[in-house]
Chain A
């Protein structure tokens, strides 16, 4: 293994990890507020097409990312209205959002098929971003750094701020939070919107960075991996970062093993790895007897105030 190869492999891992890290962070905050949104895949696709479309029209990838965040958040609001206002079942509504987002993004995308935008690549000078060694730090799209910065910011918000405390309170015991005067529904709207925006940016990473084009269903199931990631991480931000890179390394290892001609594991097994690992993590957590440690107590339950 040469240094070149290690650096190139690391960069592949970063590319595979960033979208699931973004979507996972958003979903983590949503779930911390007590809402289970299974529509990540649909929101990612909505973000992918929104970001792409805005970039096509404005030639500005920064606006494109904003558009992606908006597209993801807007589609999540549909889910929020159904779940928070009409108290529909969160699991079923989330699945519906995935199907809806897949279909609507395909419909919007019809007029964008076959077009390309310049890739939203590094903003650092070429001397750094193309340097054989330093590219491992400077050679990425701004979205990668955004994702990494959002990890400590999210952790700080959840555990060091008053707003974060309220959000967690709403997720742990919605009736208590309600009885001392916090708006459970308002907090959850905000958390769902944040989850949607982050999923949207994660989706834009596909349509604007990796392959700057639009193709139907181009996220190809990464939303589900992001959902598994949140559980795998036990609803902790630090572990989410580690887990995202662990999943990313697994995905890259599969490709390297195949390209190098190793066949010690059937490839279906590789594809199932993130989910198997999640099952394993859940088993370990529950075997320790700490009751899923960090799973929000109100996760997936509708809020029906008695007063």
Chain B
């Protein structure tokens, strides 16, 4: 089970209190009816699904109830940072040294 730091509650809580809410920083189009099929597909269905550093949304559903964002290595499942919704996404280069970089260390 993951241990996740909620940036609102400012403490680490077990994963059971949280709900994973998909890729972060996917902006909903302002004029969604004006989107082309291709653009809508990109917004709605296409996902980065990276092997390595991922930006993702979590919701502290059994806690404060709020959405926040996280940076996690999807190979080691280690969290590098969690930050409040609306904040700018941290630069991946900051974590590149610590990440497994998409390479297994098995």
Partners in one complex: no
Residue ranges of A at the interface with B (Cβ–Cβ < 8 Å) = none
Residue ranges of B at the interface with A (Cβ–Cβ < 8 Å) = none
